[in-house]
């Protein structure tokens, strides 16, 4: 938002330097991105009068001019302009002046044997026009109001500064000059002058108007006003052009400029339709009842003011006249009904639309305008009629118009909404003020509180507990709670003036067990060669099960993801294309499910491709992919610091994983995730370029198991002082039985003396059958008090063998 200081001075007293005001605005919340001195391009340029002009003997195009700039001695200046003549007033760049527009510093010089003591300038050379033919000749009536030698910035109204403000989304009042002036008034504690309004126009309620309920909600408003007797050929006065151009808006004609002026001054977008063009469009005399607001239809189109044709759809809200689109609501008007030099009668539209619908329309057509940016931040409908009235008041100053009637879609609720502001709450939140010249401290006084809130336009009613506060309309978007008012009080008084209020004693913070465990997990993966990645949780719409974002920025980011593995597969593919021979990634992120209710689940996901060993001399030529067990071992190593047991159970139920090389992961008997190789079909479809292993584990179950007291707190046991006794047993099992089931049965039987069970050999052969496999287990026995004898374990060992034979229908191999 750009705003001229001279314009601000018409509304508020500014009693400090521009640099000081810039700092105050930035500290107050309106960051000043830049401060431009408008006179910098004309420093050293003064008003001069050409007394005489004679031809230069050494050139056909150059002239020797005698110029009076108010000094005792006239200047001799060589000029090559075709429109130079005597007895005219001109802008003279004196010796030492720097013309930034053409990057030229004026020096006393000799041109073909004749001394030149300055330069007579064009507006292009002063940086005020894109192109100029000849020098600028100043209007005699304007020049006679000033003495010769007067700085050119005075005549050009360039003794001004332009503030470029960064307005945050929570301060829509900053999108208007009045809002900025009121803020300056509060910061400087100076007088604020609101523009006078003459409310003399009738207001008529449109009972039959058709409005889109999504665009015109209960807090919105649509107004349309017929104004006859205007002239599209009339140009804006100099003061109006100056204010618009310094705000970055190009002057077009008086009618259009006034709507833009109200947009800047009041923060209320307005749009003018040419009445005759509307009538030609619909084939009859247009009335206020012919206007409506609706969603656009597919295959509709509209040529807009920028000359481009836009294809419309149901995401775009349009203004229609007899159901024919004439503007994209709140964004841009249509070219066919725009104001031109032939305009003699207009319909003036002033409205407040829902910010969501304007944002959707703006995004759908791919443009953002001054109007849409204000609607998106939110404006109050209580200001709309005042803004329309202000526009008509200004039109009356330039045209002879009849008193118009303002047609409105609904009546505005003018009842004041009170915010309860408690004195005790202010003192508790802000604490005492520091008295700079004394050691004592004190709480804010009632007059201080009232004064600060009054400066920003609030009205206060005294109550026993404090005050009931009414907020002005253009602050109603951000001042809605008691804490908002307290923040305003602190901001205007100065946060640095309040005493520190630190907790006593200050308790040091610490990480919870879950946070420490999660840190262990991350470190474990990184130590084992994994890279942590962060993928985007917003994805394009692929299926109805995804949760849709109500107001997405792009179609590619319109839904919440329900998996992470797809993004990890893309990361691996990009690394493969880049020539990488391995890629290990992991991520702790959220996925979102839309069942009967929205569910958010935190997962540990990852992908493993290739063998990331550094030394590969032996296998430098061969493919060095990991097999299933090696890849699963990488995951086990990464999680080894947690001291938990994860059981694997084969599954064929995960459609994107290999049906014979996939396992579900169980923690404490609960399904916690999966590990498996990518499905071969995805490799054939080129969705995966190589064999990749994917894993996913529920973080809550993982942390819950690892932070249990018996797992999280180390328990120290005495080191055994007696030897253990080991026995090997070998069985042929059906392949349908899991190792975990067999070892569990062995442990259960020999729990008194049995210390450990390990699988030490796996053997498959056609002689024992293709559906069978031979497993050899090593059983370790130990008694903490004595050295075991064969007779001590023979009974337990026999029970283990018999139970295994009975439970798994097998026999011990000799």
- Going by DSSP bridges, is the β-strand pair 89-94/118-120 parallel, antiparallel, or unpaired? antiparallel
Lowest mean pLDDT among 391-395, 520-524, 590-594, 624-628: 624-628
* pLDDT of res. 622: 54
* pLDDT of res. 316: 94
Residue 27: burial class (beta carbons within 10 Å; 0-12, 13-18, 19+) = middle
CA 415 and chain centroid, separation: 34
Reply yes or no on whether the pLDDT at 11 is more than 70. yes
pTM: 0.69
240 contacts: CB under 8 Å, gap ≥ 6: 251, 254, 257, 258, 261
Handedness of CA 82, 85, 91, 97 (dihedral sign): positive
pLDDT single digits (tens) 647-661: 999 999 999 999 989
Higher-confidence residue of 718 and 733: namely: 733
528: DSSP letter: T
Cis geometry, peptide bond prior to residue 505 (ω within 30 degrees of 0): yes
Count CA atoms within 13 Å of residue 705 on its CB side: 19
* pLDDT of res. 133: 87
Tokens of 394: 């200004």
* pLDDT of res. 620: 54
192: DSSP letter: B
Reply yes or no on whether the pLDDT at 507 is more than 80. no
Q: What is the DSSP string of 545-597?
A: TSEEPSS-SSGGG-EE-S-SHHHHHHHHHHHHHTT-S-EEEEEEEEEEEESSS
pLDDT single digits (tens) 198-241: 988 999 999 889 999 999 998 899 999 999 999 999 999 989 99
* pLDDT of res. 299: 87
């Amino acid at each position: 938002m750009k705003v001229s200081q001279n314009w601000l001075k018409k509304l508020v007293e500014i009693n400090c330097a521009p640099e000081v005001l810039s700092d105050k605005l930035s500290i107050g919340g309106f960051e000043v991105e830049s401060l431009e001195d408008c006179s910098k391009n004309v420093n050293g340029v003064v008003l001069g009068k050409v007394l005489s002009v004679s031809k230069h003997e050494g050139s056909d195009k150059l002239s020797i001019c005698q110029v009076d700039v108010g000094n005792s001695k006239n200047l001799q200046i060589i000029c090559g302009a075709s429109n130079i003549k005597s007895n005219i007033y001109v802008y003279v760049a004196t010796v030492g002046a720097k013309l930034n527009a053409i990057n030229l510093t004026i020096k006393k010089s000799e041109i073909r044997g004749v001394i030149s003591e300055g330069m007579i300038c064009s507006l292009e050379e002063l940086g005020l026009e894109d192109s100029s033919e000849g020098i600028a000749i100043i209007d005699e009536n304007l020049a006679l109001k000033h003495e010769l030698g007067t700085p050119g910035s005075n005549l050009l109204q360039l003794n001004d500064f332009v503030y470029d403000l960064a307005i945050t989304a929570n301060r829509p009042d900053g999108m208007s000059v009045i809002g900025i002036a009121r803020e300056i008034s509060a910061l400087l504690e100076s007088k604020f002058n609101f523009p006078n309004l003459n409310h003399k126009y009738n207001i008529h309620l449109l009972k039959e108007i058709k409005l889109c309920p999504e665009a015109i909600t209960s807090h919105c408003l649509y107004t349309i006003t017929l104004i006859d007797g205007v002239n599209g050929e009339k140009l804006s006065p100099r003061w109006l052009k100056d204010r618009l151009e310094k705000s970055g808006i190009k002057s077009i004609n008086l009618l259009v400029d006034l709507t833009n002026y109200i947009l800047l001054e009041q923060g209320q977008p307005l749009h003018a339709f040419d009445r005759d063009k509307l009538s030609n469009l619909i084939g009859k005399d247009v009335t206020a009842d012919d206007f409506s607001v609706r969603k656009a239809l597919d295959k509709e189109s509209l040529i807009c003011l920028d000359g481009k044709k836009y294809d419309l759809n149901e995401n775009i809200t349009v203004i229609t006249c007899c159901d024919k689109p004439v503007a994209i609501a709140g964004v841009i008007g249509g070219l066919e009904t725009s104001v031109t030099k032939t305009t003699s009668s207009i319909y003036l539209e002033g409205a407040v639309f829902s910010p969501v619908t304007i944002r959707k329309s703006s995004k759908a057509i791919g443009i953002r305008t001054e109007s849409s940016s204000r609607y998106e931040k939110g404006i109050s409908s209580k200001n709309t009629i005042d803004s329309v009235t202000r526009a008509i008041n200004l039109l009356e100053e330039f045209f002879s118009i009849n008193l118009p009637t303002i047609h409105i879609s609904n009546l505005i609720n003018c009842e004041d909404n009170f915010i309860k502001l408690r004195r005790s709450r202010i003192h508790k939140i802000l604490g005492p003020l520091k008295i700079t010249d004394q050691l004592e401290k004190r709480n804010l006084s009632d007059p201080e509180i009232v004064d600060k809130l009054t400066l920003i336009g609030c009205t206060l009613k005294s109550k026993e507990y404090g005050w009931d506060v009414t907020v002005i309309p253009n602050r109603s978007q951000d001042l809605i709670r008691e804490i908002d008012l307290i923040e305003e009080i602190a901001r205007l008084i100065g946060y640095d003036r309040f005493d520190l209020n630190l907790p006593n004693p200050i308790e040091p913070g610490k990480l919870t067990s879950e946070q420490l465990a999660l840190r262990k997990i991350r470190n474990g993966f990184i130590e084992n060669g994994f890279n942590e990645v962060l993928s985007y949780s917003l994805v394009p719409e692929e299926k109805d099960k995804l949760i849709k974002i109500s107001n997405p920025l792009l179609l590619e980011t319109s839904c919440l993801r329900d998996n992470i593995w797809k993004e990890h597969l893309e990361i691996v593919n990009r690394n493969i294309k880049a020539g990488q021979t391995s890629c290990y990634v992991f991520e702790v992120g959220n996925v979102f499910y839309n069942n009967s209710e929205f569910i958010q689940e935190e997962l540990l996901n990852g992908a493993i491709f290739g063998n990331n060993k550094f030394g590969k001399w032996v296998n430098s030529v061969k493919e060095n992919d990991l097999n299933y067990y090696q890849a699963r071992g990488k995951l086990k190593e990464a999680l080894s610091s947690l001291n938990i047991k994860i059981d694997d159970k084969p599954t064929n139920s995960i459609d994107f994983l290999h049906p014979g090389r996939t396992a579900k992961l169980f923690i404490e008997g609960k399904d916690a995730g999966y590990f498996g190789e990518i499905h071969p079909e995805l490799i054939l479809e080129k969705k995966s370029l190589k064999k990749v292993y994917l894993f996913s584990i529920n973080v809550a179950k993982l942390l819950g198991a690892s932070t249990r007291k018996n797992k999280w707190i180390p328990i120290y046991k005495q080191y055994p002082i007696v030897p253990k006794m080991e026995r090997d047993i070998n069985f042929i099992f059906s392949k349908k039985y899991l190792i975990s089931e067999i070892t569990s049965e062995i442990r259960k039987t020999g729990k008194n003396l049995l210390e450990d069970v390990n699988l030490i050999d796996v053997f498959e052969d056609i002689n024992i059958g293709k559906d069978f496999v031979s497993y050899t287990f090593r059983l370790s026995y130990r008694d903490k008090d004595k050295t075991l004898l064969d007779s001590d374990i023979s009974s337990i060992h026999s029970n283990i063998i018999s139970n295994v034979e009975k439970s798994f229908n097998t026999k011990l191999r000799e």
